[in-house]
Structure 1
Amino acid sequence: MSFANTTTLPLATFKPNHFQLEVSDKVATVTLNRPEKKNPLTFASYRELTDFFLAAQKDEAIAAIVVTGAGGNFSSGGDVFEIIGPLVAMETKELLKFTRMTGELVKAIRACPQPVIAAIDGICAGAGAIVAMASDIRLGTAESKIAFLFNRVGLAGCDMGACAMLPRIIGQGRAAELLYTGRVLRGEEAERWGFLNRLVAKDALIGEAQTLASELANGPTFANAMTKRMLEMEWAMSVESAIEAEAVAQALCMQTEDFARAYRAFAAKKQPVFEGN
């Protein structure tokens, strides 16, 4: 059983075996597609999803990504029989390879310059909740059921960056409650807590996520990538360091043609058409 990285491929030639991939108008839509089991993750799908996001980092034709699940659920997390069962039989060295491999998926999502939008309906649990957490924007439905279930299987809540990222999204106390109890956070509460950006009607979820992704993809993508990078970097900075880093970042953005395009469009009382350079 190998947890090693495979060769990074351009998305135009990326042919996944463990999820569906559709590309349209600079937006890639990833659909977890084992609906009969509520779209669980396996060793192979972890690796393939990581490879996808690594490939996305180098593909300038893709400007935004939507992640969703088939059959009315996002993802039930790690497959009980295909992941948890084998893990019980592993020794420490192999277990550490696995936990580092799962963390690579989160790091790949965070490192890719494109905004990532999670479209969440139904079950979004365990590693599925982590994928949603790692995304930049989360849309959900009233039927969304989000749960960080690690303590339910005798594990700590500190999985795949949850103790670092979840408090920054919903606050320390609320994150502690979810990670200690493993309870379900339902759609309306998830929106109130700030985990979901907004609620969408069930039948409009994927369409609204793709519309938002298309809007971002047709925006100033160099600047969007810079925003994502600074949101990530500034977690570990003082306010003074962050202000200086943002001064440098914004000066770089002011050198782009998109900045000049926006000025010319404003002067002509037109909408700017961004090209990402």
Structure 2
Amino acid sequence: MSLKDFAARHVRLTVEGKTASILLDRPERKNPLTFESYAELVAIFRAAVQDDTVGAFVVSGSGGNFCSGGDVHEIIGPLLDRDTKGLMQFTAMTGELVKAMRACPQPILSAVDGIAAGAGAIIAMASDLRIATPRAKVAFLFNRVGLAGCDMGACAMLPRIIGQGRASELLYTGRSMSAQEGLEWGFFSRTVEPEALMQAAEDLARGITEGPGFANAMTKRMLAMEWAMSIEQAIEAEAVAQALCMTTADFRRAYEAFAAKRRPVFEGN
């Protein structure tokens, strides 16, 4: 399915050129997730695997906030009435979102303004790139509601981004990580003023989509796979990955453009 044909009802999905944008749009509640929006996000990222016309995603929230996590009234409250089997079904479903984001071959960029809490923090964490405004606050606040910090892959992914000690502090205390901390710790790649956030995110996404699509997907795949590899295994795996990239038309286009002293125009194949 082309993402242009995806009929999203619970998030706003738009495709401009090669960039797909997802807007979490419940500003009156700081853009919380519902059972339906969880499922829709999973479906979008799963569908992206089959859409090679899209080269990158931008995820953002409306109204000066990114995402406040699971909706207290529509998700948290109803969970209290579920048995263990029902709760396992829910936590498996939330984990599917991160799995879908990581399996999606396109790089995902989160543009974080204001609050990114709980599942909102996880969406930012599971993205490939993150840009923030100075007022961004990221909180893995699970322990503040009586839960463990090991939610949706946080104990696996967050230490790899900001380090074990810093991740431990955030997951044990549930406190907010400021935009400045996020920048210094490598969680955010840059900060920009709120009015410049979407333009910066779209420009970065556009720059990615102008690159070689197959090779970008391979980079994302290897970044994930090599977490569980030794250096020797990684070198061997990258040799295979790079050789595959050398079979693409984009590799030939790059060579021909270099020889002709012009900028290559990649087509993703």
TM-score (normalised: structure 2): 0.99
CA offset at residue 17 of structure 1?
1.1
Q: C-alpha distance in 2, partners of 1:178/1:57?
A: 32
Q: Is the 8 A contact 2:112 2:132 kept in 1?
A: yes
RMSD across aligned positions (CA): 0.7
Deviations 1:24-57 (A, max 9, x none): 0110000000000000001111001100100111
In the alignment, which residue of structure 2 is the partner of 1:5? none
Aligned counterpart for 2:155 among listed residues 156, 163, 172: 163
Aligned counterpart for 1:20 among listed residues 12, 22, 39: 12
Could you tell me which amino acid in structure 1 is paired with residue 89 of structure 2? K
Alignment pair present for 1:32 and 2:39: no
Q: C-alpha distance in 2, partners of 1:259/1:233?
A: 23
Q: C-alpha distance in 1, partners of 2:151/2:134?
A: 26
Aligned counterpart for 1:115 among listed residues 94, 107, 110: 107
Aligned counterpart for 1:227 among listed residues 219, 242, 260: 219
CA offset at residue 61 of structure 1?
1.1
Alignment pair present for 1:175 and 2:167: yes
In the alignment, which residue of structure 1 is the partner of 2:40? 48
Give 1:1-277 correspondences, 5 Å limit. 9-277=1-269
TM-score (normalised: structure 1): 0.96
Would you say how many aligned residue pairs link Structure 1 and Structure 2? 269
In the alignment, which residue of structure 2 is the partner of 1:6? none
Q: Which runs of 5+ in 2 are unaligned?
A: none
CA offset at residue 10 of structure 1?
3.2
Q: C-alpha distance in 1, partners of 2:230/2:181?
A: 32
Q: C-alpha distance in 1, partners of 2:206/2:38?
A: 26
Identity %: 66
Could you tell me which amino acid in structure 2 is paired with residue 237 of structure 1? M
SS of equivalent residue, structure 1 residue 264: helix
SS of equivalent residue, structure 2 residue 91: helix
SS of equivalent residue, structure 1 residue 185: strand
Could you tell me which amino acid in structure 1 is paired with residue 119 of structure 2? A
SS of equivalent residue, structure 2 residue 59: strand
CA offset at residue 12 of structure 1?
2.2
Q: Is the 8 A contact 2:4 2:14 kept in 1?
A: no
Could you tell me which amino acid in structure 2 is paired with residue 122 of structure 1? G
Q: C-alpha distance in 1, partners of 2:37/2:268?
A: 31
Deviations 1:185-232 (A, max 9, x none): 111111001111110111010111011111111110100000000001
Could you tell me which amino acid in structure 1 is paired with residue 11 of structure 2? F
Could you tell me which amino acid in structure 2 is paired with residue 209 of structure 1? A
Structure 1 runs (4+) greater than 6 angstroms displaced: none
SS of equivalent residue, structure 1 residue 270: coil
